[in-house]
Amino acid sequence: FNIALKKFNKVELQKNDLLEYRTVIKILGLHTLAWAMEGVAFFWLIKSMTPISLAAMPGVVGAYGLALVSGAVALFAPGGLGAREGVLVLIMKYYFPVGVAVVFSIIARIWFSLAEVVLFGGIYLGSKVQGMRKKISNFDFTK
């Protein structure tokens, strides 16, 4: 990165600008745990709609995780649109007919998008509440 930064006359990264190895491992572990939990929740969502064996859980969880990663690294697809669904269908077709796998990939996209909207809304409302608290705490009630 420093070579590219130097070429564009930007400030180069210093060693203390980078995260420690231990911190990177913690972040990676937490992301992996979150993806696994999302994958398990996705499995139970599927199981609520169609019969599927518990033995298929590792495959479905892995497919969901791989789809998330592929969507994140697909530079040609904004938000992983299409890449995530393609990978999910590619793997889920081993558990379901292709049409059913496509429907589940669309459901996964809707489910993920709704989760993002809810999280964004919660963060937005939380910031508004925090801003109101600051205004109230700075208000002079003695006047």
Tell me the pLDDT tens digit for each residue of 60-84: 999 999 998 898 888 888 878 889 8
Asked if residue 55 has pLDDT above 60, the reply is yes
**Alpha-carbon distance 74 to 139, whole Å?**
49
pTM summary value: 0.72
**Alpha-carbon distance 66 to 51, whole Å?**
23
In the chain, the percentage of residues whose pLDDT exceeds 70 is: 93
